[in-house]
Structures are given as C-alpha cells and as structure tokens.
Amino acid sequence: MNELYSNHINLNAVTNSEFTYERVKAIADWLLARVDTRPRIAIVCGSGLGGLAEKVQNSMVFAYEQIPDFPRSTVVGHKGNLVIGLLDNVPVVCMQGRFHSYEGYSNALCTMPMKVFKLMGVETVILTCAAGGLNLSFDVGDIMVIKDHVAPLLWTLQNPLVGLNDDRFGPRFPAANKIYNKKLREEFKKIAKDKNIDLREGVYSSFGGPCYETVTELRALLQMGVDAVGMSTANEALVASYCGMKVFAIALVTNKAVIDYDSDNHPFHEEVIETANRRAQVLQELVTEFVKKISF
C-alpha cells in the first residue's frame, strides 16, 4: 500500500458505510484528548491559503499521518496539517489542505473530517477554495461568496452520503437548497464592505479533476448560471450541512476559465498558487474578522 495512505481505512470504499459513528467518534476523541481547546469553528484552507492556520495561537499541530484513520494530502499547496487553537481568542480547528477525489479517495473519505468536526463540537464550518472564474465579469483575484453549487460529481454514486445512514450524523434524505447559510453570507459581506474590499457572490461548481474542464463543459455550466468552478468544497459543504453545522464558503478566483475553442490560453496549477499567495493577506484578514464576529 502507498505509504501516503492510511493503513486502516479502505481507500476503495465508495460509500460512507466504512465510516461508522463509532469509528469517526474514535478519531474525534483521539484529537480532543490531546488538546485543551474545544473548537466551535472549523476552517478548511484551500490551495495556497494554508497561511491562515499559521495565525492560530496556542496551537497544537497534527500532521494528517499522525491521526488514526485520516487520509493524506498529496497536492502542492496543501500542507497536510490539522491545527487546533485560538484565532483571535476564538477556539478553532483548521485543515491546512483538504482531500480530493482525484487523489484516489472516495468522496465519503474526502468529507469524513466534516463528521469528525461535528463530533468535536464544531458548530460552523468555513470553507475556502481556489476556483476558475467563469462569470465574464469576474477578474483574477476576486473573492466570491458561494450562495449555491452545481456538483456533477455528486449526481452519481460518488455522492458522499451514499451508503448506510446513521441518524446520529444526519437525516437519510437531507435538504440541499439552503446549504450555504444566508446570515453568515450577509455578515461576511458587511465586514468586507466596512473594509472597502470588493466581493462577488455567486454559484460554484465542483468537478472531480485532476484535469481542468473542457470548453464545452464550461459553456454548459455558464448556461446553468455557474460563476466559478473548482475541484472541491461542494462535497464538504453538503456533508457539513447534513451534519447540522452552519456552512459558509468562499472561492478565490485564481484564473480565468477558458470558454473559447480557439484560445491558446490554458489553466495551470502554478497560476492558482501564485494568485492565492498574492491575495492571502486579504483573505486572512477577512476570515479572522469574520470568525470573531460570528463567535458571539
């Protein structure tokens, strides 16, 4: 077995049946036994955005390979650490890097940390990601508040909720029309306005990757009203909402999606990391203030 992967979890599991309540609780208990902090907010840091976790004070840092039954992050820009501590005196848990289906993981495994967070006592999940701008009015560097998603990968048996359901996590048939909490979106927009930071708000789409989308796929998404597209986040948002946690998500537009068949341009991961690094300070400032506001 590849040494990057856990020796316990079945990586070929397609459904959530592998991740029983007891198994997930064992991971949560393992973490809580090693820290004094009881996090109320979880933050998932996307490509190039892991610097936010480095601002956490009085922190305990756990490499993913240290945590029983946790997968490994294998993507450039994802450090692969779980950081627990205080962000501006608010107890948080931060993922420095997430898991993607293109790394060979099922969506059930990619989203298993959301269930761990629920059993750690987390009430709100903040998701950040890098995305390609599809809306023609978007520019590279724009920050988009996600109000809804279109996730073709989740339309099939790759949905992370497929399998035996345990009501202690959430309902068998969860609603998905209000995943992204409106009050949280409004609060974040207010903070940005007070700081004179321009925001976008729109619909995000998640493809499985690792290849970027074809021109025809992007044109179809544009017709569906999608504003930005990436390779993550929607699956995590779905499971976090299913578990009863409030969900807020933002996408940093790190490149322009190519919708011209004759264009010589093409997206590349280095551009994603470069843009994320350039806008990291602004994102960190916004999220830190946001965490402080919603903690009361």
Q: Does 99 show up as a binding residue in the annotation?
A: yes
Catalytic pick among 151, 255, 257, 276: 255
Nearest to 227 by CA among 250, 248, 208, 210: 250
Quote the pLDDT of residue 152.
Answer: 85
Q: Which of 28, 42, 47, 236 is catalytic?
A: 47
State the pLDDT at residue 81.
94
DSSP 231-262: SSSHHHHHHHHHTT-EEEEEEEEEEE----TT
100 is in an annotated binding site: yes
Question: Is 103 an active-site residue?
Answer: yes
Burial class (CB in 10 A: 0-12, 13-18, 19+), 5: middle
The string of pLDDT tens digits covering residues 147-174 is 999 998 788 768 999 999 999 999 999 9
- One of 59, 95, 100, 106 is an active-site residue; which one? 100
214: which DSSP letter? P
Please tell me which residue in 131, 231, 237, 245 is annotated as part of the active site. 231
Residue 232 appears among annotated catalytic residues: yes
Is residue 100 flagged as an active site residue? yes
135 neighbors 223 (Cβ within 8 angstroms): no
Architecture of the CATH domain 3-295: 3-Layer(aba) Sandwich (3.40)
Q: How far apart are alpha carbons 236 and 114 in whole angstroms?
A: 7
In sequence order, what E strands does 15-136 have? 41-45, 57-63, 81-87, 90-96, 124-133
Q: What is the pLDDT of residue 7?
A: 44
231 is catalytic: yes
Report whether 270 belongs to an annotated binding site.
no
Q: Tell me whether residue 181 is annotated as binding.
A: no
Average pLDDT of each block of 10 consecutive residues along the chain (296 residues)?
44 66 97 98 84 92 95 77 96 94 90 98 97 96 97 81 95 97 98 97 94 94 97 97 98 93 84 83 93 91
Name the active-site residue from 232, 234, 237, 241.
232
Q: Where are the domains of the chain?
A: 3-295
255 classed as catalytic: yes
What is the rounded end-to-end Cα distance, in angstroms, of the chain?
A: 46
Report whether 78 belongs to an annotated binding site. yes
- Considering the candidates 64, 78, 181, 251, report the single residue annotated as catalytic: 78
The sign one gets for the Cα dihedral 118, 123, 128, 134 is positive
**47 classed as catalytic:** yes
Is 255 annotated as contributing to ligand binding? yes
